[in-house]
Amino acid sequence: MPDPSAASRPKAEGPSDGTTSAAWAKVRHAMHPKANGGQLVVGVLFAVLGFALVTQVRSAQGAEALASARPDDLVRILDDLQERQDRLQAEAAALAATRDELLGGADQAGAALDRARDQAQTLGIVAGTLPASGPGITVTVIDREGGVDAALLLDAVQELRDAGAEAIQIDGQRIVASTAIVETPEGIEIDGEPVEPPYDVVVIGDPETLASALAIPGGVLESVRNAGGDGLVEQRATVDVTALKPLDQPEYARPAP
């Protein structure tokens, strides 16, 4: 305890300084080595303390911390880890689900794109904007006497369509839904382009069906013969419908929502 008289005085005055400096003097005095037995024992004890301190600090910092933990603490740590693992697993599951969803979405988008592409090709063949190739027939209509008129050609086209023709061209003119076959004083025009006999007709479809559709009694070929012409039908494994029809952008019609 400090000097009782010092406690009653203001702090910074003489006697209180006296006790403080006396304490410091003691500290300084302690710093002078005095090698007697007691001091040596104290030194050894301090050495033991320092040794143990460093050892413990090192073990508490390293992975040995777990090895020196109590069963209770280990159980608590294990619980914490378990909880953390559960949480992370739940998170991982959620993320995996999101990923699957996104991948599925990409697949769906890809499938939709493929479908759209297929549809575009189909529509292109129907609309005449894409060349087409496949089994079919070629028909050469010879008109020696000028008796084959537009109506007869149109009949032929209708007959071929009935028989399942998928793409038709006549003299390099693609025949589509909007195609007009018109009789003019100069001859026959298909979509405004004059065509001359002999008419080369290329049709894609089932060759047998197409050929027999043209050959039925009272059908196209017989009508052509009656009109003073002739028709030569050839079935082929592959015919090419290469004529294209430019696609006009519709001016008024829009896709209905």
Partner 1 sequence: MIAVLGLIAGIVLGLVLQPTIPLWMQPYLPIAVVAALDAVFGAFRAYLDGTFDERVFVISFIGNVLVAALVVFLGDQLGVGSQLSTGVVVVLSIRIFVNAAAIRRHLFHA
Report the interface residues with partner 1, using CB under 8 A. 1-2, 6, 11, 16-17, 19-20, 23-24, 26-27, 30-35, 38-56, 58-60, 64, 67-68, 70, 72-73
Alpha-carbon span 104 to 101, nearest angstrom? 5
| Cβ(240)–Cβ(133) below 8 Å | yes
- Residue 242 burial (CB count, 10 A): 13
Q: Which is nearer to partner 1, 32 or 254 (CB)?
A: 32
Give least dist CB 47 to partner 1, A: 4
SS3 191: coil
Q: Which is nearer to partner 1, 40 or 112 (CB)?
A: 40
| Cβ(164)–Cβ(210) below 8 Å | yes
What residues contact residue 144 under an 8 Å CB cut-off, 6+ apart? 228, 229, 230
CA atoms within 13 A on the CB side of 194: 5
Give least dist CB 16 to partner 1, A: 5
Strand partners, 167: 204
| Cβ(97)–Cβ(199) below 8 Å | no
Q: Which is nearer to partner 1, 52 or 103 (CB)?
A: 52
Give least dist CB 8 to partner 1, A: 14
Residue that is written with structure tokens 């089932």 in the block = 206
Give least dist CB 93 to partner 1, A: 35
- Residue 241 burial (CB count, 10 A): 23
Q: Which is nearer to partner 1, 42 or 247 (CB)?
A: 42
CA 1 to chain centre: 83
Give least dist CB 29 to partner 1, A: 10
Q: Which is nearer to partner 1, 34 or 254 (CB)?
A: 34
Give least dist CB 35 to partner 1, A: 7
SS3 241: strand
